[in-house]
Homo-oligomer: A and B are copies of this chain.
Amino acid sequence: MKILVLSSGGVDSTTCLALAVKEAGPENVFSLSIYYGQKHDKELEAARAVAAYYGVAHQELDLAVIFADSNCSLLKQSSEEIPKESYARQLSGTEGTVSTYVPFRNGLFLSCAASVALSRGCEKILYGAHADDAAGAAYPDCSVQFVEAMNRAITEGTGNQLRLEAPFVSVSKAEVVRTGLALKVPYELTWSCYEGGKTPCCRCGTCIDRIEAFRANGVEDPLLKEV
């Protein structure tokens, strides 16, 4: 069994990578990371470090041109600031997605992953979506419904050669961290903060989520020990 893991260098996909290595061995795992014009392209360095730690083959793709016309606040060309509050607060009283939603980003990334996975003889893609990201429609491309539809599109569109699994799609980020701590995931190598500064800003949506996920497990985020 060969497995491709869509890796952002963050907590969730790194935990997926640990699961894949445990299941198939590092020689049968491929890590794929994508640059899409994100301000925090520092996460790509984290994805590289994590792949090196696990000894798995790593590939990067540059798809920034696809988002050239988007004004999503996560992108370098955007004039919008990245909000400094939780997703729940950002969504309060509004309809639709948060300003850091990149248009159909995860659908695009999973499709890329499917094309690459098939070329490399993989039978499975692992995707680190979890329930907190989908909550309140913050990121609709992290929902159970989306994952189910995308899995069906991938199995149908490849003639049943490949399938998609999102092991954390129904659980919280705290549960992801709990799984990862048991697997001794090197979270000190990962990166989440949207700002991409020297240290995490601790105020953007993903920082808030990450801090709470570690706190719920009674441990300190190793990245914050250095702050």
Q: Which residues of A contact B (CB under 8 A)?
A: 61-62, 65-70, 96-97, 101-108, 110-112, 114-116, 118-120, 137, 140-141, 143, 145-146, 149-150, 152-154, 156-159, 161-162
Q: Contact check: which of B70, B107, B114 meets A157 at CB < 8 Å?
A: B107
**Given A112-B108, A159-B137, also A65-B61 (CB < 8 A):** yes
A-B contact pairs, 15 of them (CB 8 A): A61-B66, A69-B116, A69-B119, A103-B116, A104-B158, A107-B153, A107-B157, A108-B108, A108-B111, A111-B112, A140-B157, A141-B158, A149-B150, A149-B156, A150-B157
A115 and B111 within 8 A (CB) = no
A146 and B150 within 8 A (CB) = no
A158 to B143, CA, bound (A): 11
A104 to B156, CA, bound (A): 10
B150 and A153 within 8 A (CB) = yes
Copies of this subunit: 2
Lowest 10 CB-CB distances: which A-B pairs, in order?
A: A103-B118, A149-B152, A111-B111, A149-B153, A141-B157, A104-B114, A69-B119, A140-B159, A108-B111, A70-B119
- Chain B's closest residue to A114 (CB) is B104
Q: Contact check: which of B69, B96, B110, B157 meets A146 at CB < 8 Å?
A: B157
**Given A96-B159, A157-B146, also A67-B140 (CB < 8 A):** no
B140 and A119 within 8 A (CB) = no
A103 to B114, CA, bound (A): 8
**Given A105-B115, A108-B114, A115-B104, also A120-B157 (CB < 8 A):** no
Known pairs A70-B119, A108-B108 / 14 extra A-B pairs, C-beta < 8 Å = A62-B65, A66-B116, A69-B120, A96-B159, A103-B115, A103-B158, A104-B111, A107-B157, A108-B114, A140-B158, A140-B159, A141-B156, A146-B156, A149-B153
